[in-house]
Amino acid sequence: MLIPHVRLLKTPVMSLQTGAQLALTSRVLVDPRDLTIVAYELEGSMLDEHPSYLRPVDVRELSNLGFIVDSSDEFVGENDVIRIKQVSDYDFELVGLPVIDEHKKKLGKIQGFNVDAGSYSVQQIVVKRPLLRSLGETELLIHRSQILEVSSAHIKVDTGSIREPEPTKNIVREYSNPFRTGNVQPEAIRRAEHS
């Protein structure tokens, strides 16, 4: 199941033990090396450490109430998990990055992404088209298999081999209008068709 990234922001984190809200998610920490979610940054008054993170593996369930966890013991600090510290130091933000094709032509900017609920990996990026190109298409949906390169400056994607339509040859067809000329005999029409 794919989840839009906005569904993962400002989402309550609920305790299974007490049923109380422990925090809210404030940011999704995405690893640019493999486009997987490493952690959710948390905000709230009940946190012991700032910043605090919730790893996807510690989430029991994502329901209509929010993220369900066992307790606040699941929260980790930035220096508690090496990978969280590494990705946090990248200061990588997926939303807002320019997207270019393999020919370095600008396609637009990322306005969102969709995450697979099972693997916590980014499966699709949603690209908002530039103003002039948005007349035909307002946004593009690009699958992760089309992504060629991820950097802090842009994301390069493979647009595939788009074939240009072949130009139509100038075909000249002459038709005779029997109503324009005077009396046209059926034999004259048959002769015009065979020539």
Provide the domain limits for residue 9.
2-90
Per-residue confidence at 129, pLDDT binned at 50, 70, 90? Answer: confident
Across the range 102-114, mean pLDDT stands at 93
Adjacent-strand bridge partners of 63: 66
The CA–CA distances, whole Å, from 71 to 16, 76, 82, 101 equal 6, 12, 22, 45
Whether residues 103 and 25 fall in one domain: no
Whether residues 37 and 76 fall in one domain: yes
Whether residues 133 and 77 fall in one domain: no
Whether residues 64 and 41 fall in one domain: yes
| 174 φ, ψ (degrees, to nearest 5) | -110, 130
Whether residues 112 and 36 fall in one domain: no
Overall residue count recorded for the chain in this entry: 195
Residue 56 lies in a domain: yes
Across the range 19-34, mean pLDDT stands at 95
Residue 107 lies in a domain: yes
Whether residues 117 and 48 fall in one domain: no
Q: Residue 182: what pLDDT?
A: 54
Return all residues near 126 (Cβ < 8 A) that are at least 6 apart. Answer: 110, 111, 112, 113, 114, 139, 140, 141, 142
Whether residues 82 and 106 fall in one domain: no
CA distance 134 to 67: 36
Whether residues 18 and 82 fall in one domain: yes
Q: What digits encode the pLDDT tens for the residues 31-83?
A: 999 999 999 999 999 898 999 999 999 999 999 999 999 999 999 999 999 99
Q: Is the dihedral of CA 156, 9, 61, 48 positive or negative?
A: positive
Whether residues 24 and 67 fall in one domain: yes
Helices (H) and strands (E) in the chain, counts: 2, 14
Across the range 132-148, mean pLDDT stands at 80
Domain tally, the chain: 2
Encoded tokens for 130: 């530039």
Whether residues 115 and 84 fall in one domain: no
Q: What digits encode the pLDDT tens for the residues 141-160?
A: 999 999 999 999 999 999 87
CA distance 182 to 103: 61
Whether residues 107 and 81 fall in one domain: no
Residue 12 lies in a domain: yes
Whether residues 8 and 61 fall in one domain: yes
Residue 102 lies in a domain: yes
Under a CB-based contact definition with an 8 Å cutoff, are residues 105 and 51 in contact?
no
Per-residue confidence at 181, pLDDT binned at 50, 70, 90? Answer: low
Q: Is the dihedral of CA 65, 68, 74, 79 positive or negative?
A: negative
CATH code of residue 150 = 2.30.30.240
Residue 169 lies in a domain: no
User: Of 65-74, 124-133, 165-174, 185-194, which range is least confident?
Assistant: 165-174
Residue 182 lies in a domain: no
In three-state form (DSSP H/G/I as H, E/B as E, the rest C), the secondary structure along 135-192 is HCCCEEEEEHHHEEEECCCCEEECCCCCCCCCCCCCCCCCCCCCCCCCCCCHHHHHHH
Mark which of 32, 67, 90 sits at the end of a domain: 90
Residue 170 lies in a domain: no
